[in-house]
Structure 1
């Protein structure tokens, strides 16, 4: 099978993800009917929160954190009283700054072969589909604490970059989608609390560390990875 047959456009990928979530939600009552244990329910929610991203470059260094944003849907499939499969679908921006030596995108247009430092700002946007396990404590009044662990699956839907060298601007907000990879994977570690507002509604807040472990650029052997910390806010219905 040729590799190009395996490639999915972002639009096709979004449709497949939404269809999968719809089928999973639709099938959950059937699973509950056949389950030998109590059905602990399915919850759907909304989230909107900031992200603080940074870059780790193999041939360079990161330059602090940059603010981004994430918003979308949350979903908890509660398969036991204190355990959930937590997923969702969000649009997540991961920004970050770095100083890198001779990135091919810019060095190939330079008039010198000498090692040159470029200050770069990555502005990447992903369709994020997390797959995690959420472990919850028993309720303490209307509050329960949780810990979360799992995999982040991110699909590139936008990539732009600012670049300068020697204090001189080279590009601003340039589209670099063709120079970045479509898929990003990351490790999710997080925790927080959920507060019940009423019988069916709860507010959630917490902290998540998303450690990217796949290369985000297409530039020969050059390796660049991005990571972020999120201050999570959401509401479940």
Structure 2
């Protein structure tokens, strides 16, 4: 957590020097994953609600195009079960996400209100992982990074000269198998993250 706060301070200082619009984002997320193996004997074991928080930085490219990045704390969950229901395992993962997305804004759809579409990707660095039950033994090692595709949409409302409030939603589809190594009989287990997010925040 101390490292996270330090990075937020560094990004804030950089933003003020580079005249980048900075903000804070709080996002309830639904964390799930896609599970499979070659024998098709595993499946996803549901989803859970979690909360993400972080600093965002939007740089103007034109009146309607913005480059959006930042530093976001993003908790995830991977869980799988075999098709017979005899094995069920759940793991908690935590990442620091550095997004690199493009925001495309509409003209005003109401006074001081604009819509936007967002598309891009991110680098996610795993900072913590934990088994929900200490008896779990299948996953021996996790892949330390993930790279998701990010698609989103929302609206921004200019609430003052220097204040903008935004709300929207996004879909993040992880491309990397989070399982680096696993024990038999699931040595070829593949788990990829899926995130549905409600994005709420303010920019200054």
Q: Does 1:213 align with 2:175?
A: yes
Structure 1: segments with no counterpart, 5+ residues: 1-10, 30-41, 102-114, 164-168
Deviation at 1:223, TM superposition (A): 1.5
Contact 1:146–1:191 (CA under 8 A) maintained in structure 2: yes
Contact 1:57–1:100 (CA under 8 A) maintained in structure 2: no
For 1:98-113, what aligned pairs fall within 5 Å after superposition?
Answer: 98-100=80-82
Contact 2:26–2:200 (CA under 8 A) maintained in structure 1: yes
* Off by >6 Å, runs of 4+ in structure 1: 14-20
CA distance in 2 between partners of 1:153 and 1:46 (Å): 19
Rg (Cα) greater in structure: 1
Deviation at 1:56, TM superposition (A): 1.1
Normalising by structure 2, what TM-score? 0.83
Match of 1:25 among 4, 8, 15: 15
Higher RCO by CA contacts (8 Å cutoff, separation 6 or greater): 2
CA distance in 1 between partners of 2:34 and 2:172 (Å): 13
- Matching residue of 2:100: 131
Deviation at 1:117, TM superposition (A): 4.2
Structure 2: segments with no counterpart, 5+ residues: 182-186
Q: Does 1:58 align with 2:39?
A: no
Deviation at 1:218, TM superposition (A): 1.5
- Matching residue of 1:95: 77
Aligned in 2, Cα 1:152/1:100: closer, same or farther, shift over 3 Å? farther
- Structure with the largest fraction of strand: 2
In the TM superposition, what whole-angstrom CA distance separates every residue of 1:83-127 from its partner, at most 9, and x where no partner exists? 0000110111112432148xxxxxxxxxxxxx9842111211000
- Matching residue of 2:135: 170
**For the aligned residues, what is the CA RMSD?**
2.9
CA distance in 2 between partners of 1:141 and 1:209 (Å): 28
CA distance in 2 between partners of 1:121 and 1:190 (Å): 28
CA distance in 2 between partners of 1:96 and 1:129 (Å): 20
- Structure with the largest fraction of helix: 1
The aligned length equals 193
Q: Does 1:81 align with 2:63?
A: yes
CA distance in 1 between partners of 2:57 and 2:21 (Å): 6
